[in-house]
Amino acid sequence: MYKIVKKEILNPTVTKMEIEAPFVAAKAEPGQFIILRVNDDGERIPLTVAGYDRKKGTVTIIFQIVGATTALLNNKDEGDFISDFVGPLGNKTRLDGLKKVCIVGGGVGCAIALPIAQKLKEMGCDVTSVIGFRTKDLLILEDEFKAASSRLIVMTDDGSYGRQGNVCVPLNEMFDGGERFDEVITIGPLIMMKFVVKTVEPTGIPCTVSMNPIMIDGTGMCGGCRLTLNRGGQKITEFACVNGPDFNGYEVDFDEAMLRGGMYREFERHAYESTCNLFKKEAK
């Protein structure tokens, strides 16, 4: 059993939890993920490590409430326990040798981007962070990104906070002004990452994407996170959870990944509604 030592509501749909898991905390690195079960008969879900404290023996996760399991997890409070918390899994983000990096995060994907920015800062890297949200009410982790970045640009679709527009707007401005980076690392919705890659591509700057959003089982057995990659003129198949989560953005077939990801939305919605109705009945 794994104790929830801290819980924080970041916005109406996103929650942050600090979990007591010393063995995971001892080995976790930015880019890796864990698999948890809320209770003994629950489903396994993968969640990216959003932070870790090796001294305290805790791992931070940040999750969006989209399905039954995340709704169950969000119903837990500080001092409660979850059944299983396994990791770290996946490959850590490769950061060696980087001196100047642009981190581009969107929505809850910023939770994955933050530990990468923090690690880069520890390494003495010049970090520019661009984070985007639909509206001010969905903004998360601004102070943390400020602390981890040499420069932070906040974008909102509706202009309710920061600058109005999507994350590609400041990227285009920087590139048009002649600015270059050793690498661009982007994490967020698939459609956002697709267009970030297209924006970066003319510059020839390496662009890494995290395909964590398409992971389901997290072990490579379900096949739901398989990716088609165009590598060296040949199409190959790899899995986000086993071979990633990080990939060369120029190789990823985003259109296929988005089509496959949409297959589960209706199932998630029904599962989430059933779980919420159960909570309402228990409250009565």
Residue 242 CA to its chain's centroid (Å): 16
Containing H/E element for 11?
Answer: strand 2-11
Query: For residue 260, is it within any domain?
Result: no
* Domains contained in the chain, number: 2
pLDDT at position 275: 42
The total number of residues shown for the chain amounts to 284
**Domain endpoint, select from 157, 188, 210:** 210
Q: What is the CATH number of the domain that holds 189?
A: 3.40.50.80
Which pLDDT band, with edges at 50, 70 and 90, does 267 fall under?
Answer: very low
pLDDT in tens, 41-82: 888 888 989 999 999 999 999 999 888 888 999 999 999 999
Cα distance from N-terminal residue to C-terminal residue, the chain = 28
84 with 63, same domain? yes
pLDDT in tens, 165-208: 999 999 999 999 999 999 999 999 999 999 999 999 999 999 99
Query: pLDDT for 72-126, tens place per residue?
Result: 999 999 999 999 999 899 899 999 999 999 999 999 999 999 999 999 999 999 9
* Whole-angstrom distance, CA of residue 52 vs CA of residue 35: 15
pTM of the model: 0.85
For 245-254, how does the pLDDT look when each residue is reduced to its tens digit (9 = 90+)?
899 999 999 8
Q: What is the largest CA-CA distance in the chain?
A: 61
Percent of the chain with pLDDT over 90: 70
Segment of 4-18, 213-227, 264-278 carrying the highest mean pLDDT: 4-18
Share of the chain above pLDDT 70, in %: 89
Q: Give the C-alpha separation, 185 to 101, whole Å.
A: 8
Q: Distance (Å, rounded) from C-alpha 88 to C-alpha 110?
A: 19
Is the omega angle on the peptide bond into residue 202 within 30 degrees of 0, that is, cis?
A: no
C-alpha distances (whole Å) from 157 to each of 117, 153, 161, 230, 248 are 23, 13, 9, 31, 27
| Residue 165 shares a structural domain with residue 190 | yes
Whether 12 and 45 map to the same domain: the answer is yes
Residue 284 is predicted with a pLDDT of: 47
Evaluate whether residue 276 is within a structural domain. no
- What's the whole-number average pLDDT of the chain? 88
Question: Based on the domain organization, do 65 and 114 belong to the same domain?
Answer: no
- Decide: 205 and 171 in contact? Cβ < 8 Å: no
The bridge status of strand 163-164 relative to strand 151-156 is parallel
| Residue with more model confidence, 277 or 52 | 52
| 207-210 vs 246-248, strand pairing mode | antiparallel
Domain boundary among 210, 238, 254: 210
Out of 150, 182, 210, a domain closes at 210
C-alpha 70/C-alpha 45 separation (Å) is 9
Contacts of 20 (CB under 8 A, 6+ apart): 2, 3, 4, 5, 57, 58
Residue 183 CA to residue 167 CA, distance in Å, equals 16
pLDDT of residue 271: 43
* 119 found inside a domain: yes
Instruction: Give the up-direction half-sphere exposure of residue 189: CA atoms within 13 A in the CB hemisphere.
Output: 14
Which pLDDT score, from 0 to 100, does residue 123 have?
94
Helix axes 190-200, 254-261, angle to 10 degrees: 170
User: Does one domain contain both 132 and 64?
Assistant: no
Which comes out higher in pLDDT, residue 196 or 271? 196
Q: Is 156 left (phi over 0), alpha (psi -120 to 50) or beta?
A: beta
Taking the C-alpha atoms of residue 110 and residue 103, their distance in angstroms, rounded to an integer, is 9
Domain-located, residue 225: no
- What is the spatial distance between Cα 230 and Cα 243, in angstroms, rounded to a whole number? 15
Both 164 and 205 in one domain: the answer is: yes
Domain span at residue 20 reads 2-89
CATH of the domain at 76: 2.40.30.10
Contact 20, 53 (CB under 8 A): no
- Neighbouring C-alpha atoms within 13 Å toward the C-beta of 61: 28
Which pLDDT score, from 0 to 100, does residue 264 have?
Answer: 55
Predicted pLDDT at 193 = 94
Residues 41 and 104 in one domain: no
Is the same domain home to 67 and 103? no
Same domain, 104 and 200: yes
